[in-house]
Amino acid sequence: MNESRPPNTILLVDDEETFRQRLERAFARRGFTVFGAGNYDEAMQLVRAHRPARAVIDLKMTGRSGLEVLTDALAIAPELQALVLTGFGSIATATEAIRRGAVNYIPKPADVDDILRAFDKTTPLSATDQDADFAPPTLARAEWEHIQRVLADCDGNISAAAERLGLHRRTLQRKLYKYPPNK
């Protein structure tokens, strides 16, 4: 166990190679020692070998998911500060990521500054701050959140989620391939 690891080490886990390499270069320019992984197995190997201080983990990857990477990486290195990054965000997946130990959850596209700000956010908003910034979601956004919650409850099984939602499987697939509504 490497207790003397430098605080400026970071693991980037994303199967989108171009995006990951862009982030690797940007973090390296800011003085970080960067370890890049394109899948679960590479990520676990790097966590065991280097025990980085921080990790940025993509949620949806080919093979095992980012939530699995998060859970297993924290089992190996409980002191790891991990952030989940995704292009398909929902309240259900954000809640699950935080429940599993992520320090934050942010949507793609995100740059290095966004990621570093997310790592630095350690103080929760007060109740008055939350009320002032709250805008009710649109109907489209509420539908998207509900679909994501049901899909998470069905462990990603589209057929089971479609049955619970009363939709045809293809209709649900079309809805899932669309980007989530902004508001």
Q: Look at the alpha carbons of 62, 65, 68, 72 in this order and tell me if their dihedral is positive or negative.
A: positive
Q: CB-based burial of residue 63 (10 Å sphere; 0-12 exposed, 13-18 middle, 19+ buried)?
A: exposed
Chain region(s) in the chain for CATH 1.10.10.60? 131-177
Instruction: Write down the CATH number for the domain with range 131-177.
Output: 1.10.10.60
CATH number (3.90.380.10, 3.40.50.2300, 3.40.50.300, 1.20.1250.20) of 9-120 reads 3.40.50.2300
pLDDT in tens, 104-130: 888 877 888 888 888 887 544 333 444
Chain region(s) in the chain for CATH 3.40.50.2300? 9-120
pTM of the predicted model as reported, rounded to 2 decimal places: 0.64
